[in-house]
Amino acid sequence: MSEHTTTVAGVAVDTRHWIGGERVASAETFTDVSPIDGGVLGEIARGTAAEAAAAVAAARAAFPAWAATPREERARVLHAIADGVERRLEELAVVETADNGALLRSHRRGVMPRVAHNFRFFADWLTRLGHEDFDTRGHTNHVSWDPAGPCVLITPWNAPLMLATWKVAPALAAGNTVVLKPAEWSPLTASLLADIAAEAGLPAGVLNVVQGYGSEIGDALTSHPDVRRISFTGSVPTAQRISSSAAANLTPLSLELGGKSPLLVFADADLDLAVDLAVEQYDNAGQVCLAATRILVEETVAEEFTRRFVERAARLKQGDPRDEATDIGPNIHPRQLEKIDGFVQRAIAAGARAVIGGKRLEGQYYAPTLLTDVAQDSEVVQEEVFGPVLTLQTFGDEAEAVRLANDTRFGLAATVATGDAARAGRVSGQLVAGTVWVNCFFVRDLQAPFGGSRHSGVGREGGTWSFDFYCDLKNTVTSPKGWKDHG
């Protein structure tokens, strides 16, 4: 076994960068630790500006040939990558569970199959991407999507491989080359993806993976003049830093940021369904940007809703995410756990009441928490906690529900529970959100636009919207005059 290889759950993972089709070590490393038990998973290559420059140079060198590759061939390679993901699905699942603590059963049944689907979807969408030609005073307009160039993709730790490939797949399909920087708290499956892509026949330099801290390698990537697109999923403060870094080169950005999404429960809703939707917000230990962490319940049913919620939440099993029976695993990092507990303890000190939870458990686990008696302008209502912490507030009528729902600086998603179709339409039309779910949650289709409003992000990706971002759109106008007969 190489000194640059670590074994995680029986799977060998190379801990070096992947640049220009080769493994590249760094002078220093950082330690990757499992949130399950605090065990060391490996010493990971700690990239600097030098590795950033090398990766961008490799992406730039590989770009002309990949951009000129016919769509059908690019699609074939993406399908081959999806095949590789499916062959190694179990390996990817066990490694990612060890790395970020999310449920193994979810990785096996939903997350890793979605990784493969990301590649297949954008491969297929590419082959039919187009716009009908149209006429302007006898002139023909033809719209085309031209590859933009090297793309820097910076991805989060809460769903590492799925969210990485949500960006990587359309960027590659569009004919671009990629430098992927995974989060330092969960870097391992990005390394495995590099292996899978190489085995699938993706040319050297088309996909590069570099690891490290944002302050050491991220800034060098986002400020590089040869980068043509930057896509980032993460926090608002980091997005502001990236935006500032990219501004000098006017590099286009796609930013999917935090959320403080509401779940509106009206008195005419199916309360059992509404309770199930509310409890579902504890998924992934509350580490989901889309989570409806602010539960807003109509006053007349609030007491009954709360009773059923407490009863339903009590059935959740918290523990080792590798156990098939577990519903809630650990939080990603001690620093994140401290952040979560800080929010809760400050809220309680300010007068909030923990109906359930409100405390740390052994290890990196936090008890599922529901806080009531919280003010609308309080920190725990206004700021993203990113842990298993929900708040419950009441409203008197539809207008108040909408006002409370929209009263944060975020606008990523919203969920509405109601038995009245007309109300669902009215309320959904007034909510500030990139996605609104009615009587459901987390139903996502890759052909739909995805992104946030306000401080929840800039831009939309998904379907043709992804290609609009990852490409330079061109309109070619052709006159019917001036043609010579070359027959």
Helix (H, G, I), strand (E, B) or coil at 254: strand
3-state secondary structure 368-433: CEEEECCCCCCHHHHCCCCCCEEEEEEECCHHHHHHHHHCCCCCCEEEEECCCHHHHHHHHHHCCC
Q: Are 270 and 419 in contact (CB under 8 A)?
A: yes
Q: Distance between CA atoms of 164 and 169, rounded to whole angstroms?
A: 9
Q: Which amino acid is at 156?
A: P
Amino acid at 210: V
Q: How far apart are CA 264 and CA 290, in angstroms?
A: 14
304 is annotated as an active-site residue: no
Whether residue 119 contacts residue 81, with contact meaning beta carbons closer than 8 Å, is answered with yes
Rounding to the nearest 10 degrees, give the CA dihedral for residues 399, 278, 256, 333. 140
| Non-local CB neighbours of 463 within 8 Å, separated by 6+ positions | 125, 446, 447, 448, 449
Are 32 and 187 within 8 A, CB to CB? Answer: yes
State how far Cα 408 lies from the chain centre. Answer: 21
Distance separating alpha carbons of residues 351 and 429, to the nearest angstrom: 34
Please report, to the nearest 10 degrees, the dihedral formed by the alpha carbons of residues 63, 67, 70, 76 taken in order: 60
Q: Which of 184, 216, 256, 384 is catalytic?
A: 256
CA distance 356 to 319: 17
CA contacts within 13 A on the Cβ side of 439: 13
Secondary structure (3-state) at 134: strand
Phi-psi map region of 120: left, alpha, beta (phi>0 left; psi -120 to 50 alpha) = alpha
Catalytic residue among 289, 298, 461, 471: 289
Output helix, strand, coil percentages for the chain, rounded to the nearest 5. Answer: 40, 20, 35
C-alpha to C-alpha distance for 66 and 70, rounded to whole angstroms: 9
Gap between the Cα atoms of 148 and 143, Å rounded:
15
- Structural contact between residues 376 and 347, judged by C-beta atoms closer than 8 angstroms: no
- 338 flagged as catalytic: no
Burial class of residue 203 (count of CB atoms within 10 Å of its CB; 0-12, 13-18, 19+):
middle
Q: How many helices (H) and strands (E) does the chain have?
A: 16, 22
Catalytic annotation, residues? 256, 289
